[in-house]
Amino acid sequence: MDKQSPATDFREFIQHLKAHGELIDIHEHVDPDLEVGAITRRVYETRAPAPMFNRLQTGDPGLRILGAPAGMSRKKGQEYIRLAAHFNLPASAQPAEILNAIIMAKQKPAIAPIRLNDAPCKQNKMIGDDVDLTRFPVPLLHQEDGGRYFGTYGFHVVQSPDGTWDSWSVGRTMLHNRNTLVGPAMSMQHIGMIHAMWAKEGKRTPWAMVLGAPPAAMAVAGMPLPAWVSEPDYVGTLTHQPVPVIKCETNPLYVPAFSEIVVEGEISFDELQMEGPMGEYHGYSFDEGKPQPVFHVRAITWRDNAILPICVAGIPPEENHTIWGTMMAAEALAQCQKDGLPVDMVWCTYEAASCWLVLSVDINELAKMETTANDFVELIADTFFKSHVAWLIPKVILVANDIDITNVEQVVWALATRSHPKRDYHIYSQKPGIPMVPYLDDEDKENEHGGKMIINCLFPEEFRGKPRARKACFNDSYPDDLKQQVIEKWQQYGY
């Protein structure tokens, strides 16, 4: 078997973060009831190293929690280090390099998983009546949450009834009681589609949830790949080696062998229980929970001193932005390239809480199309809005590629100065979209549409390959030799 790395093994990932000063070992006694959540929230908001909670007040001794596994770093030039480590990329990797690494797997043949007979995730087992989820330190993450969340940084494993589609997808699960979890399985998400296939046959969906999975697998499970594309194969291609998997104890599914905790069982087709509310990716917590499907747990297996990774969702940046947002941007970029659109970069601005996607338009390529603003916006709406990824993000912003779309200051400047209030805000009230967007009303949510918009920040001249005006800034407003001189004499000036 291949050697493991930070992308393929959660423990290697932790060593890597430690070696880069991106993880703090906490030996204080910490309470999973709100204290873990409060510390992790403060970590995201101050961009501090990821907290490893080694001593918890509840749960079996030895079990641990890792907070903010893909939080941002405050180290200059290494802001994306935790995200980059999910793909074995260097600490200094920036968004364009990260997206390219993710989508190169599209060009290569799938690498199917390799099956093992024994693995660390089988070191401890609870089966049948012995199953007790409360032996784990299941945290209450925000005081407004409707319950304790077991799965906030793990993924569901399901398979289509015909056995041809293996789906790994990130989704949250709340503790209902000692052997059941409850969580969303939205009909447009792949777990919802596969759940519906089983339900149609009058069967419960065989299911597993994996926590502390190989980081690359976790990221791909948060990527809106098209339906019928198996995430495990994509992970293999992305990491250049097959994912080692092992069979569940109580059902025929295979799960990543290098995992911390595996929960297995089945999803009911007719039982619902209240789930939530929970502080969510958009940065709000709504008052009401919702009835969601029940996940029956038939077995739990885990590594010695297992680590439960968590995401404490809310105001950005947390993993819904750094992982989900990045993976949506990657999929959208691949989709635009496939559709032949003149788009050279896509970014899901973390500060916009996965509610908008910015498309960088190559104006030289745009000029070759000899199109108009309205026709171009329609083309984006017709091609892009059809994709699985576009369902997830309500707003799309088009800007010329003189803007670095990964720099929020530049995006705000373009948005304010380049979009005409009358001409450039295109509303698509009938296009379907995710009903979780905060500004939607009850009717929108029920119909799963209402929130879509394209904002065109392309100046009319840019459709002919030219900027409208020159930029007034250090880079563009002075001759090169003078700029060089100013940089060289900077300290002499007294700075």
Ligand X SMILES: Cc1cc2nc3c(=O)[nH]c(=O)nc-3n(C[C@H](O)[C@H](O)[C@H](O)COP(=O)(O)O)c2cc1C
Q: Give me the residues that bind ligand X (CB under 6 A), please.
A: 153, 167, 169-172, 184, 186, 189-190, 222-224, 311, 319-320, 323-324, 392
Task: Choose the catalytic residue: 79, 260, 275, 280.
Answer: 280
Using the minimum distance from each CB to ligand X, give the nearer residue, 321 or 418. Answer: 321
Partner from Mn ion, ligand X, none binding residue 80, C-beta < 5-8 Å depending on class: none
Taking the complex as a whole, the smallest distance from the CB of residue 231 to Mn ion amounts, in Å, to: 6
- Contact of 295 with 260, CB cutoff 8 Å: no
Q: Nearer to Mn ion by C-beta: 228 or 478?
A: 228
Q: Which does 241 bind (CB under 5 to 8 A by kind): ligand X, Mn ion, none?
A: none
- Rank residues 225 and 392 by Cβ distance to Mn ion and give the closer one: 225
Nearer CB in complex with Mn ion: 12/166: 166
Q: Is 86 in the site for Mn ion (CB under 5 A)?
A: no
> Binds 189, which of ligand X, Mn ion, none (CB < 5 to 8 A, cut-off by type)?
ligand X
Binds Mn ion (CB under 5 A): choice among 64, 122, 148, 190:
190
CB of 165 to Mn ion, least distance (A): 8
Residue 156, interface with Mn ion (CB under 5 A)? Answer: no
Clarify whether 79 is annotated catalytic: no
User: CB under 5 to 8 A by kind: which of Mn ion, ligand X, none does 453 bind?
Assistant: none
The mark string for 222-251 relative to Mn ion (x by CB under 5 A, - otherwise) is ---x--------------------------
Nearer to Mn ion, 359 or 389 (CB): 389
298 contacts Mn ion (rule: CB under 5 A):
no
Query: Interface residues with Mn ion (CB under 5 A)?
Result: 167, 190, 225
- Mind telling me the catalytic residues? 280
